[in-house]
Amino acid sequence: MNVDHLSWNCFFNPESNKVIFHYVYSNSESIKNAEFVVGNSFYEAEKPVFDYLNSSKILPIGPLLSSQRFGKPAGVFWAEDTTCKAWLDEQDVNSVIYVAFGSLAILDERQFQELALGLELTGRPFLWVVRPDITGKAIIDLPKGFKDRIGDRGMVVQWSPQQEVLAHPAVSCFMSHCGWNSTMEGVSSGVPFLCWPYFADQHLNQTYICDVWKIGLKMIPDENNMITKEQIRDKVEELLGDGEMKKRALAMKEIAIKGVEKGGASFENFNTFVSAIKQEV
């Protein structure tokens, strides 16, 4: 672990870091008074940590995924472009690079352009979520001639139904900011990661993905703090050429899904929580 990546050290100015540190500290103190702490994780994902805590009040009940019965997940504020599902249906199995950086990450314009050129350079189909505010500017400019050169090989949307996309058989990998919800969704779909963290917990989540679970690769900024188009191409090829990485990702998926099924660890933890609520009532 790099101390610069602790959540209270990696915001963008000392005052913000100070606020986050006090928030984390007060939250940790408050937890001492809680009967239970439930979380969107599962025992096998963080086994050494849960074993170290050795606490019956820490209850991982994840991965928490939305059900088709109840529509889109809570907390999704952008309108989903569902036309991408029909486009995915037309792609080969395990062929599509899915690129999404969540609802907060910002790329500067140079990096945004380099990412576009990197996806083009891969020669592979891609589905890219480009929020209207992803560069922090009112107008987003793709590289000149990009759409003409890409044609039908790539699709750009403002937001996607991410769980459905990740579960689609056409998706081969997930280029992600490594937010925890996205991490759990990717793990639950058995998809390997290309990790591009932005701030907060995302750097530590990357450590889990790449160094602990070994189901992803890190994107490494160069001396100019740029992830180049050549690195993007090379990392995609390295990831998709690693059959063992995919096997580990699929094994993680099986463990995650079993945990929330009847009799699984997350299922039983949730029942423990519900039973405690009933007793209080």
Look-up of token digits 């907390």: 75
pLDDT at residue 9, as a whole number: 83
Reported confidence tier of residue 69, pLDDT bands at 50, 70, 90:
very low
The rounded distance, in Å, linking the Cα atoms of 264 and 66 is: 18
Least confident range of 13-17, 63-67, 271-275: 63-67
Residues 142-167 have a mean pLDDT of 95
The one-letter amino acid at 268: E
CATH numeric code, 78-256: 3.40.50.2000
Q: Is the pTM of this model over 0.85?
A: yes
Find out whether 115 and 228 touch, Cβ atoms under 8 Å: no
Least confident range of 51-65, 94-108, 110-124, 256-270: 51-65
The dihedral region occupied by 126, where left means phi > 0, alpha psi between -120 and 50, and beta the remainder, is: beta
**What own/partner pairs with CB < 8 Å and gap ≥ 24 does 85-91 have?**
85/161, 85/164, 85/165, 85/168, 87/127, 87/155, 88/127, 88/165, 88/168, 88/170, 88/171, 89/170, 91/125, 91/170
Q: What is the mean pLDDT of the chain?
A: 92
Other residues' Cβ atoms within 10 Å of the Cβ of residue 32: 7
Numbered ranges of CATH 3.40.50.2000 in the chain: 78-256
Tokens of 179: 């937010």
pLDDT at residue 70, as a whole number: 42
Tokens of 172: 């081969």
- Whole-angstrom CA distances from 38 to 41, 144, 244, 276 are 9, 48, 32, 12
